[in-house]
């Protein structure tokens, strides 16, 4: 029997959702989405979660939500690209009242990393794996022998006198009109600094920019192996479903 779990991935502009076959490692049917309400307060988000769950009509059971925040024991501790009213909220307890189903919250980059390590670019890799999602900021997920160290937030480490994501994110590349060589030079500095601290065996590069990996891959340099993310925009949903399943 197929084990199906619902995963949701909350972003600043949209919330994505899908049913995931957590035995085979892929979506069942289509990935759907709805606009993130503005402002994205907890109360405003509940109808979005409920609407997506109703549209998919999946089996009853636990729901996983990938959320752009540090999440400690279910409590939302930061607010990146969502309303600050979420800070201090017990995410699962709050959403469960609406969905009438058990809920698991986890950091969105951690969710993407979970999907990649289980079934994607990090599958079968032992040692230290770092997942990087390049977008508005830089999300990170850190794994040792397949085990997640949650909420690593390495996009906020200092590089060249500023936060890494304010110097190296995909948003910065676009805003400053950097070509691939100029941007990858910055990425290489960032990777070198992380390598010196954590000695990873593999970097997985995610975010929309990973879809153009072949264009800039020859410019990347690291003592660690570097691979593009396998699941692209589906990773957060798949990882959230995995978290719900407890896998």
Q: pLDDT tens across 110-149, in order?
A: 999 999 999 999 999 999 999 999 988 899 999 999 999 9
For the chain, domain boundaries: 4-110+234-245, 123-229
Q: Indicate if 123-229 has the same CATH topology as 4-110+234-245.
A: yes
Query: Is residue 133 a contact partner of residue 203, using CB atoms and an 8 Å limit?
Result: no
**Tokens 């490692």, residue located:** 25
pLDDT at 2 over 80: no
- Encode pLDDT of 29-76 as tens digits: 999 999 999 999 999 999 999 999 999 987 788 999 999 999 999 999
Average pLDDT over residues 173-187: 97
* Beta-strand pair 225-228/4-10: unpaired
The CATH superfamily assigned to 4-110+234-245 is ATPase, nucleotide binding domain (3.30.420.40)
Residue 127 has a CB neighbour count (10 Å cut-off) of: 14
Q: Which long-range contacts (CB under 8 A, 24 or more apart) does 157-165 make?
A: 157/193, 157/194, 159/189, 159/190, 159/193, 160/186, 160/189, 164/138, 164/190, 165/137, 165/138
* The model scores a pTM over 0.85: yes
CA atoms within 13 A of residue 50's CA, in its CB half-sphere: 13
Q: What is 123-229's CATH number, 2.40.30.160, 2.40.160.60, 3.30.420.40, 3.50.50.60?
A: 3.30.420.40
Q: With beta carbons less than 8 A apart as the criterion, state whether 17 and 236 touch.
A: no
- DSSP per residue, 49-84: HHHHHHHHT--SS-EEEEESS-EETTEE---SSS-G
């Amino acid at each position: 029997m197929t084990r199906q779990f619902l995963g949701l991935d909350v972003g600043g502009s949209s919330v994505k959702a899908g049913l995931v076959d957590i035995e085979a490692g892929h979506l069942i049917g289509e990935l759907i989405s709805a606009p993130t309400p503005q402002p994205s307060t907890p109360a405003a988000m509940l109808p979005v979660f409920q609407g997506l769950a109703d549209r998919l009509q999946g089996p009853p059971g636990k729901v996983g939500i990938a959320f752009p925040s540090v999440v400690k024991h279910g409590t939302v501790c930061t607010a990146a690209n969502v309303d600050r009213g979420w800070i201090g909220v017990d995410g699962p307890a709050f959403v469960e009242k609406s969905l009438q189903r058990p809920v698991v919250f986890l950091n969105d980059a951690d969710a993407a990393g979970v999907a990649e390590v289980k079934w994607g670019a990090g599958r079968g890799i032992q040692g230290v794996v770092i997942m990087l999602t390049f977008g508005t900021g830089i999300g990170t997920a850190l794994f040792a022998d397949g085990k997640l160290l949650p909420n690593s937030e390495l996009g906020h480490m200092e590089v060249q006198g500023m936060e890494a994501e304010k110097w190296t994110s995909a948003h910065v590349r676009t805003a400053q009109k950097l070509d691939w060589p100029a941007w990858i030079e910055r990425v290489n500095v960032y990777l070198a600094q992380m390598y010196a601290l954590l000695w990873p065996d593999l970097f997985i590069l995610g975010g929309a920019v990973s879809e153009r990996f072949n264009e800039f891959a020859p410019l990347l340099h690291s003592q660690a192996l570097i691979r593009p993310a396998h699941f692209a925009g589906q990773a957060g949903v798949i990882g959230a479903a995995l978290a719900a399943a407890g896998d």
